[in-house]
Amino acid sequence: MRGASPITAATLPAFRSPLIRALAWSCFSETLINEITTATAVIHKPHLPLTPKRLNWLTALDTNDAPLKTYLDTHCKSTRLGLVFESLWHFFLQEDPDTELIAHNIPVRDGKRTLGEFDLIYYCRMSQRYIHLELAVKFFLGIPNRHTAPGLDQWYGPNRADRLDRKLARLTQHQLPLAHTDAGQAVIAQLGIDHLDQELQVNGILFHANTDNAPYPSLNSEHQRGDWLSLSAFQTAQEQERWRYIEKPSWLGAEYQTATPLENKHLQMAAHKPIMLINNKQQRRFLVADDWAD
C-alpha cells in the first residue's frame, strides 16, 4: 500500500483544526525510532502510512472535527499528553477501514497482582494479523557528552527525571515481553486470538543542542528535530519577536499562527522550568534555565 509523505512541521498547518493537527501529527509523522530489539524479536513500527485515502479522511475531518471532539470528550477526560496521544490512536484505528481496534489499556494480572497492561490490540485487515501495539510520545533534550560516543542516555525529558534509554529499556524489558508471559498469553486467549504480532510507535521531537551534529545510529535518521537554548543566550540574541509560546496541551499539533505571542511572563516561567516555543518556520525550541544542563 503506497503512502504519501509523512506529516511534517511544514505540512501540518494545512489543517485548520487543532484536534486534526494533533491527530495527523500523532499518527502520521516521523517516529523517533523505526525498530527496537527485545530478547526474542525485532519489533518494528506499524505499517500504516498516510495513504491518499487517509489524507482525504483527515481533510474531511478538518472541515468538521465534531466526531473527534466527541470521541475525546467521551473517552479522554485528561489533558496529559500521553493519554491524549493514545486516544488519538484509538480513534484512528477505530475509524480506519483497514483496521479494527480490538481493545485498549488491557490489564495483565497474575492472580490479584497486576503485572502491567497492553496499550492496545488491533486487527490489520490488509495483513490479516492481530497486533499488540505499544505507544509512546516523548519530547527529549540532548545533552552531548564530548567524552563518550553519542548515545540514547544523553536524551532527557524537560524535568530531567525521564531519559530516552530508560524509556526504551522499559519497553523492551517489561512492556513488550508481557505478551509472552503466562498471564499475558491468558489475556490474549480470552480475546480469542491465536497469534499476536507486536509493533511499537514512539513519536516525539528531539531537541538538539546547537553544537550537536552527531549521528545517533539507534534513532530514525528522519526523526523530528528542534533545538534548545538557555534563557540568557536567548535574551542576548534578542530573538523574542521570532518565537511564540506553546502551552503543553498543544505540543502534539502546534502551529505558529495559533501559538501565543511570547511575553516576559513566559521568560520568567523558563527560569524555573523549560518551555516550548515555535517560530514562523514551524521550528520548535525548548527554552531552559541557564543551569538546566548542569
In this prediction, residue 1 has a pLDDT band, given cuts at 50, 70 and 90, of very low
**pLDDT recorded at residue 107:** 96
Look-up: residue for cell 516576559? 264
By mean pLDDT, which of 66-80, 119-133, 208-222 is the weakest? 208-222
Does residue 167 sit in helix, strand or coil? helix
Look-up: residue for cell 509523505? 5
Q: 200 pairs with which residues across the strands? A: 134
Q: Beta 225-230 vs 284-288: how paired, if at all?
A: parallel
Instruction: Tell me the pLDDT tens digit for each residue of 214-254.
Output: 667 789 999 999 999 999 999 988 788 899 999 998 999 99
Q: What is the mean pLDDT of the chain?
A: 94
Does 37 have pLDDT greater than 60? yes
Query: To the nearest whole percent, how much of the chain has pLDDT over 70?
Result: 97
Angle at alpha carbon of residue 102, lines to 108 and 94, rounded to 5°: 135
Tally of CB atoms within 10 A around 211: 9
Instruction: Tell me the pLDDT tens digit for each residue of 39-54.
Output: 889 999 999 999 999 9
Please state the pTM of the whole predicted model: 0.95
Average pLDDT over residues 43-66: 97
Burial of 197 (0-12, 13-18, 19+ CB in 10 A): middle
Over the Cα atoms of the chain, what is R_g? 20
Query: To the nearest whole percent, how much of the chain has pLDDT over 90?
Result: 86
In whole angstroms, give the CA distance from residue 56 to residue 293: 44
